[in-house]
A = this chain, B = another copy of it.
Amino acid sequence: MSDAKYDVLTVGNAIVDIIARAEDDFLVKENITKAAMNLIDADRAEHLYSVMGPAIETSGGSAGNTAAGLASFGGSAAYFGKVADDHLGEIFTHDIRAIGVDFNVKPLNGTPPTARSMIFVTPDGERTMNTYLGACVELAPEDVDADVVASSQVTYFEGYLWDPPRAKDAIRLAAQIAHDNKRKVALTLSDSFCVDRFRAEFLELMKSGTVDIIFANEAELKSLYETSDFATALEALKGDTALAAVTRSEAGSIVVTPQETVEVRARPIDKLEDTTGAGDLYAAGFLYGLTKGRGLADCARIGGLAAAEVIQHIGPRPQVSLRDLLDQSGI
């Protein structure tokens, strides 16, 4: 795969995060499902902003964060996602390009506006997202630049893309182009409630070989196989995909293939500030390792390194060079 222009192309909902701290009882009072990605409409977005505390704005979006992480490691990354030609769209575009990611999807002219997610970080460091999809609903097959897909070692996309109406068509097209060019396709399951909405389709993507690599956390995996037993879910996963990385928060991560299981411990951290971006950055580190020919245990360790950085500050993208962290890590 060494002739690829890009190590990884990521595809996802292009979102600006609006992040504030909140107490748990605020989530209860506002009827927000904790730790989940809650989809909201424009009226609900207006209401939540009116009751939200002082916030910071920063580019986010799961696959956008992963692309930023890859670039921070020094990998070459491209991104597909849809913003509008408004101020938040400019912010998103600036930030992802500034970290070195190629992003050239045409912005939507006019409404709906660029997507935003109001993220409440509770005292335990958990993040709870409330996402207004805005311009993301317009992502469609015509946004797929075939040359970029063909020249990316891995095309990685979010399960969240099953929420907007036509993005899944873009993904199926991209997956076809990738495989036609002997590239790999990766999917993150994104969120246990998202898995619940699209379980049959995600399983079909796996069983049909449309995706080659799966990223999931424990809750998503249990949701996928409708079991409360992790070992059962993991065993089922081994039968359904060629390669999967499963994150387990402070318990580290497990990489499985039909032949092997590799378990890696989590890196110790000083203080958990904000879990936003943890899974996205794990995927960034894992894919960086994979595209650089590292073994699976190292891929998992590099993923854990990136996740550990991002959960120790507010915001979903790295604040320091992951390249430097990796150089210092001894991995």
Mark A residues whose CB is within 8 Å of B: 20-21, 49, 52-59, 68, 86-88, 91, 94-96, 98-99, 313-315, 317, 319-320
Contacts and interface: CB of A to CB of B under 8 A. Distances in A.
B56 A94 contact: no
A95 B21 CA distance: 12
B94 A68 contact: no
Contacts of A20: 98
B54 A57 contact: no
In the complex, the count of this chain's copies comes to: 2
Given A54-B98, A56-B57, A314 B317 contact: no
Contacts of A59: 54
A233 to B, nearest CB: 36
B95 A55 contact: yes
Contacts of A91: 55, 57
Contacts of A55: 58, 91, 94-95, 98
Nearest to A68: B54
Given A52-B94, A53-B99, A57-B57, 4 more contacts: A54-B98, A55-B58, A86-B87, A87-B87
Contacts of A98: 20, 52-55
10 contacts: A52-B94, A54-B59, A54-B99, A55-B94, A55-B98, A56-B57, A56-B315, A57-B58, A87-B88, A313-B314
